[in-house]
């Protein structure tokens, strides 16, 4: 697992971040990881914790298997990438994954629910470090997956400049598709 660099600090939670217990919104309705509009996506649901942490759940379906009857490792990594990424809502800073490391400790069968706990472990400049664990079938079940990540805070322009024109037009017609386009997000590189 990745180590946190010397000089990293624990950042402050943004006062306008989701409140403790509140569901953290999807950043994009068609996101394969957390979007409710994606027909075969993970549909990961996360709730803000007390500090710089969250809990998330995702149910493994037949659409998520690799080996027969078992979750695909890449899709498990995606679930953790989503959980780590949703921590950025607590800072109210748009960010991109720069590094993701995932350790698989137990097989995760179809029909299982993965209970993920994630938290921010430090920030150094624009780099935000996180850690997560996934328990099998209950919040206190056996740990099946562990993960660390590093996100880099970027300007919102990064996402808007790279979105296809038709998506931007759809967003104008239905702003709920893209929750992270929030002009009050602060960018402090």
Span 11-20, mean pLDDT?
Answer: 95
Of the pLDDT bands very low, low, confident and very high (cuts 50, 70, 90), residue 2 is low
134 CB-near residues (< 8 Å, 6+ apart):
76, 79, 80, 108, 114, 115, 116, 143, 144, 145, 146, 147
pLDDT, residue 175, reads 57
Question: What 3 state SS string does 134-153 have?
Answer: EEECCCCCCEEEEEEEEEEE
87 CB-near residues (< 8 Å, 6+ apart):
52, 53, 54, 118, 119, 120, 128, 130, 151
86 CB-near residues (< 8 Å, 6+ apart):
24, 34, 46, 54, 56, 118
Q: Report, in angstroms and rounded to the nearest whole number, the Rg of the chain calculated over CA atoms.
A: 16
**In this structure, are residues 76 and 110 in contact, taking their beta carbons and an 8 Å threshold?**
no
pLDDT, residue 50, reads 95
- Tens digits of per-residue pLDDT, 74-108? 999 999 999 999 999 999 998 999 999 999 999 99
User: What mean pLDDT, rounded, does the chain reach?
Assistant: 86
- Tens digits of per-residue pLDDT, 64-75? 888 999 999 999
**In this structure, are residues 29 and 176 in contact, taking their beta carbons and an 8 Å threshold?**
yes
Whether pLDDT at 185 is above 90:
no
Separation between Cα atoms, residue 75 and residue 130, nearest integer Å: 19
- Tens digits of per-residue pLDDT, 16-61? 999 999 999 877 766 766 767 777 777 789 999 999 999 999 999 9
CATH architecture of 23-177: Roll (3.10)
Residues in the chain: 189
pLDDT, residue 140, reads 97
């Amino acid at each position: 697992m990745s180590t946190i660099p010397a000089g990293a600090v624990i950042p402050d939670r943004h006062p306008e971040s989701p409140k403790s217990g509140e569901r953290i919104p999807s950043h994009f309705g068609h996101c394969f990881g957390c979007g409710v509009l994606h027909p075969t996506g993970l549909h990961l649901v996360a709730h803000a914790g007390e500090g710089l942490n969250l809990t998330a759940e995702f149910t493994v379906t037949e659409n998520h298997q690799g080996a027969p009857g078992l979750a695909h490792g890449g899709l498990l990594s995606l679930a953790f990438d989503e959980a780590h990424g949703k921590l950025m809502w607590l800072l109210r800073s748009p960010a991109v994954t720069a590094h993701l490391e995932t350790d698989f400790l137990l097989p995760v069968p179809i029909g299982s629910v993965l209970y993920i706990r994630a938290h921010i472990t430090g920030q150094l400049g624009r780099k935000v470090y996180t850690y997560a664990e996934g328990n099998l079938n209950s919040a206190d079940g056996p740990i099946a997956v562990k993960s660390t990540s590093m996100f880099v805070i970027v300007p919102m322009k990064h996402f808007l400049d790279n979105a296809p024109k038709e998506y931007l037009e759809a967003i104008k017609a239905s702003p709920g598709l893209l929750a992270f386009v929030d002009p009050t997000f602060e960018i402090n590189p």
